[in-house]
Amino acid sequence: MKQATRQAKTEGRSAGFVPTMGALHAGHLALVQRALSECQPVIASIFVNPTQFGPNEDFQKYPRAFEEDCKKLEDAGVDYLFAPDPSEIYPPGFRTWVNVESLSDRLEGKIRPGHFRGVTTVVLKLLEIVQPQKAFFGRKDAQQARIIQQMGRDLHLDSQIVVCPIVREPDGLAMSSRNAYLNAAERRAATILFRALDNVRNSISRGERDALRLTAAMRDILRTEHLAEPEYVELVDAETLEPMTRLRGECLALLAARIGNVRLIDNLLIEERDGTFLATL
Ligand code: AMP
């Protein structure tokens, strides 16, 4: 893997990398398309990383579709697929962990202790193995993207971290490999996350700037769906991930909810431009 990207570098080309856990959907493939438009060669990885799952989470039953994934990546025009075995990434005696402090303890990290330590450790290892000029991540996992960007900054990584837009189903549900777990009633209920965020976007365009009122409105909307059990609903500064009381600069409205046994997350990016706020789902 290192040889392939080293070769590209000596030829003046820049390698692009799209790390995934497989069970690929249009969200992953949009990252691949973006990488193909900016880089050559493009490397994708499929690795269901055991260390980012908690003991009671879905590591064993996480959707796996290796053959279909290979076909999708090949059809898309990916140059290399890196699909290591867990024993290669975590051989016996493995001891080194990367932790991005404070950003990893909030929101997802609070509900899933140790999750981001697993994510940052595996992403650093993958970046070291693949050595890409650019690595592409989705804003679907906004906290993850922010933490990886911080790791890149703090550790002087050579790879540029590129964050790409959220790809949604026609009814607004953010695409996710875990959507496959939803039954028909849950699938209908799952759009409540999008609807709560869309309502915030409309309120912002009507001039609402009070973060507490906006989060209260999101909670109210989530409460209307009896299949949804909210885990957190927050409006935070996009840099620090700390809650804010009034919109300012770049912020994120972040939601996590359980629909039946399925945990879903979604978010809205809110950016201040010349005194007006632009909200992007
Ligand atoms: P995963 O396979 O879930 O670990 O995701 C691999 C990458 O794809 C991560 O950078 C995710 O943020 C990104 N991703 C997953 N779902 C979407 C989506 N609906 N839109 C954009 N990016 C996504």
**Digit-coded pLDDT (tens) for 221-233:** 999 999 999 999 9
The token pair at 50 is: 């055991």
The token pair at 251 is: 């912020």
Q: What is the pLDDT of residue 275?
A: 87
C-beta of 17 in contact with ligand 1 (< 6 A): no
The pTM (predicted TM-score) of the whole model is 0.98
Q: Mean per-residue pLDDT for 115-127?
A: 98
Alpha-carbon distances, residue 109 vs 113, 117, 132, 163 (angstroms): 5, 9, 27, 20
Output the residue whose Cα is nearest ligand 1's atom 11: 138
The token pair at 4 is: 């392939």
C-beta of 177 in contact with ligand 1 (< 6 A): yes
Surface-to-core class of residue 228, CB atoms within 10 Å of its CB (0-12 exposed, 13-18 middle, 19+ buried): buried
The full length of the chain comes to: 281
Q: Mean per-residue pLDDT for 139-161?
A: 98
Most ligand 1 atoms within 8 A of CB, residue of 52, 136, 140 to mutate: 140
Q: What is the pLDDT of residue 13?
A: 96
Is the pLDDT at 252 greater than 90? The verdict is yes
C-beta of 267 in contact with ligand 1 (< 6 A): no
What is the pLDDT of the chain when averaged over all its residues? 97
C-beta of residue 150 within 8 angstroms of C-beta of residue 234: no
Surface-to-core class of residue 93, CB atoms within 10 Å of its CB (0-12 exposed, 13-18 middle, 19+ buried): exposed
Q: Which residue has better confidence, 107 or 275?
A: 107
Is the pLDDT at 258 greater than 90? The verdict is yes
What DSSP string describes 157-181? -SSEEEEEPPPB-TTSPBP-GGGGG
31 vs 39: CA distance, rounded Å: 12
Surface-to-core class of residue 87, CB atoms within 10 Å of its CB (0-12 exposed, 13-18 middle, 19+ buried): exposed
46 vs 194: CA distance, rounded Å: 27
Q: Mean per-residue pLDDT for 30-34?
A: 98
Reported in sequence order, the residue ranges of 56-159 that DSSP labels E, i.e. its strands, are 80-82, 134-138
- Identify the band that residue 197 occupies on the pLDDT scale cut at 50, 70 and 90: very high
Q: What is the pLDDT of residue 139?
A: 98
Is the pLDDT at 190 greater than 90? The verdict is yes
Nearest atom within ligand 1 for CA of residue 21:
2
